[in-house]
Amino acid sequence: MQKGIVISEEIYYKMLESYDKAMKELEELRQQLQISTELVSSQESENKVEMNNLTKECIEYISEEMEEGKLADEDRRLACVLSYLANDEDINELYELIKTGKAPGAGKQSGT
């Protein structure tokens, strides 16, 4: 035997309306998440393409320099690569570390 509760028709329709509203909001959130995911994925792809292009340019530049007799040793080639790619913030920090032997910002006093 099943047991149940009895509610008025008015309460039933209010509950149904609340449920429908919640489902609509959930669907809107799903759509927003999908759009956000697509945007992030698109941006990541663009960043990879930019980095690949920059890497190819760097390889071409280093190859030309080596053909001209420049950049004979490994250290000079590494310095050239890091200098070439230094417009990337992380690589620039690595370049500064290698160049100076100090981490960027080392020795600076904090505001406290």
Instruction: State the pLDDT at residue 100.
Output: 78
Instruction: State the pLDDT at residue 88.
Output: 65
Element (H, E) at 90: helix 89-100
What CA–CA distance (Å, rounded) separates 92 from 104? 9
pTM above 0.85, yes or no: no
**Vertex 71: Cα angle to 90 and 66 (nearest 5):** 110
Instruction: State the pLDDT at residue 112.
Output: 46
Mean pLDDT for back-to-back runs of 10 residues, the chain (112 residues): 87 93 92 86 77 79 83 77 70 72 60 48
**Dihedral in degrees, nearest 10, Cα atoms 10, 13, 19, 25:** -100
